[in-house]
Chain A
């Protein structure tokens, strides 16, 4: 459960926040050799929008609000820094990232502040989210389940078992964002797995409502989310750039995993700071 104020989406403020989030991710990356910088950078705007504007504030002690699940666990640095900015995750824990003294690893761990599911193995999050959304229906709450998935994990058959079941159960309280950066760990899916596309048609044929947007433009994502009919599970396919925000990281596979060295770090910070000016 996340407690915060509901905000009207403000694009200018979101832009500043997202640059700060990327800078903080880079800062933490200097203490860990492996951090999945690029997969986190591709979903910063998505996670920021969900936490800042979409998740509902609890209205009473009986109301638990909405839930967020990071299905693409390797992108969790985006969630960690946002939880830190919201005061949910202590700064010391980010500073102790991936050390024996700390609690945070390179994938989310259920029970850590703000983390409701242990993910990391791909193709699990949507099934969990379906179970959570159905449970909230049975409990007759107004809670929604938000999940961020990678496009790569939609190659897992389990994701489609879950997608089918979500529609069978008419889970209109389930909203997923696909961080569609077109990259797996190895290479571009559009080049080597072209049958993966068109993605939106697949979800529609599985009984979902869908929309496709630029995943780095909060206003667009917010608009499509607000327009949804709320009668089916909803998927927002967000076209993103892996490594977004740092030119030499964008769409370069090595940054799926590696942390920048000192020179690269300085260069990346300079680029991000230019965006603040």
Chain B
């Protein structure tokens, strides 16, 4: 994902000289190095200093540039939080803050590097749009949207590397602010954001074996959420499964349950998210998700 992001950014930067990248001591992925080589003055590394990373992108935006801030999600959002809130959101500047390794992607690095609450925190701040693509292709589209938009600040949550492409020719095209059906079914809707949606495909296989059909839906734009799309999803399926690589409070699951209550939906809703705990477990990304009870067999077992 981060490579596709960097490639997309680099290509756009060749045409738009306002695009700049401000990072805080993060080793850039291959394509990011290409951007740095081509436009050394537009690539700034503030070092291990995230507050000035955000302060700088705000100041650059105030003078008409289109800067992106980029580092590991915890350091992109948590460390300089008040700078994101005041400098970017209060002033409503069109700046994208990219958090890589969203969720527990950095599985061996411990909770200091786990963005478990980032979506809830980002969704709470006025003016901040929150986007989390599910695969490299969606990363390309969301990055392009961030590059082109002039509306205000965005928190773009990415994974890391090696994520599979989940969409296909059957999938809906990407539209900012709209749910994207990767597959269409009638019985069960599996909805989520980010690379964890891959688990939805494993789960869908089990559901299909029971003779039921599945929609798999990428809610890439978590804020502003496609409320009408959620209402239609609730009305057109029997069971909803929500997958979220984030704590259970303040994210997609909460939002869908509130909408379901408001429209008096009687659909069954099962949500799966990270535990609200600091887990002292080290291993692969899958291992850490498993320690949070996020695995396909656990999810499928309740249908």
- Residue numbers of A with Cβ under 8 A of B are 110, 116-118, 120-121, 123-124, 126-136, 138-139, 157-158, 161-162, 164-165, 169
Contact = CB atoms under 8 A, between A and B. Distances in A.
Interface in B46-92: 46-47, 49, 51-52, 54-65, 67, 82-83, 86-87, 90-91
12 contacts: A110-B62, A124-B86, A124-B87, A126-B55, A127-B55, A128-B59, A129-B59, A130-B55, A134-B60, A138-B65, A139-B65, A161-B49
B257 interface: no
B64 A138 contact: no
B20 interface: yes
A249 to B, nearest CB: 29
Contact of B86 (A121, A132, A134): A121
A128 B62 contact: yes
Given A127-B56, A130-B59, A138-B65, A118 B90 contact: yes
A117 to B, nearest CB: 7
A165 B56 contact: yes
Given A130-B56, A138-B41, A158-B51, A117 B62 contact: yes
Contacts of A132: 59-60, 62-63
A132 to B, nearest CB: 4
A160 B56 CA distance: 13
Given A117-B62, A128-B55, A138 B42 contact: yes
A157 B83 CA distance: 13
B44 interface: yes
A135 B58 contact: no
Contacts of A157: 51
B55 A135 contact: no
B170 to A, nearest CB: 44
Interface residues of B, number: 28
Interface in B31-51: 41-42, 44, 46-47, 49, 51
A116 B56 CA distance: 15
A130 B83 contact: no
Interface of B: 20, 41-42, 44, 46-47, 49, 51-52, 54-65, 67, 82-83, 86-87, 90-91
B57 A131 contact: yes
Given A118-B86, A131-B58, A134-B56, A161 B51 contact: yes
Contact of B83 (A110, A118, A127): A127
Contact of A162 (B42, B44, B55, B65): B55
A133 B82 CA distance: 22
A121 B82 contact: yes
B57 to A, nearest CB: 6
Given A124-B83, A124-B87, A165-B49, A135 B42 contact: no
Contacts of A117: 62, 91
Nearest to B17: A138
* Max chain B C-beta neighbours (<10 A), residue from A131, A135, A138: A131
Contacts of B90: 110, 118
B59 A131 contact: yes
Given A131-B60, A131-B63, A139-B65, 10 more contacts: A117-B91, A131-B58, A131-B62, A132-B63, A134-B56, A135-B62, A135-B65, A138-B20, A138-B65, A162-B55
Contacts of B59: 127-135
* Max chain A C-beta neighbours (<10 A), residue from B51, B52, B64, B82: B52
A158 B46 contact: no
Contacts of B46: 161, 165
A223 to B, nearest CB: 29
* Max chain A C-beta neighbours (<10 A), residue from B54, B56, B58, B90: B56
Nearest to A141: B63
Nearest to B50: A161
A135 B52 contact: no
A127 B58 CA distance: 8
Nearest to A145: B59
A206 to B, nearest CB: 13
Contacts of A124: 55, 83, 86-87
B54 A127 contact: yes
Contact of B63 (A110, A139, A162): A139
A118 B82 contact: no
Nearest to A128: B59
Given A127-B87, A130-B52, A158-B52, A116 B60 contact: no
* Max chain B C-beta neighbours (<10 A), residue from A110, A128, A129, A134: A128
A254 to B, nearest CB: 27
Nearest to B90: A118
Nearest to B59: A131
A117 B49 CA distance: 22
Nearest to B85: A121
Nearest to A158: B51
A138 B44 CA distance: 12
Contact of A131 (B42, B49, B56): B56
A131 B59 CA distance: 4
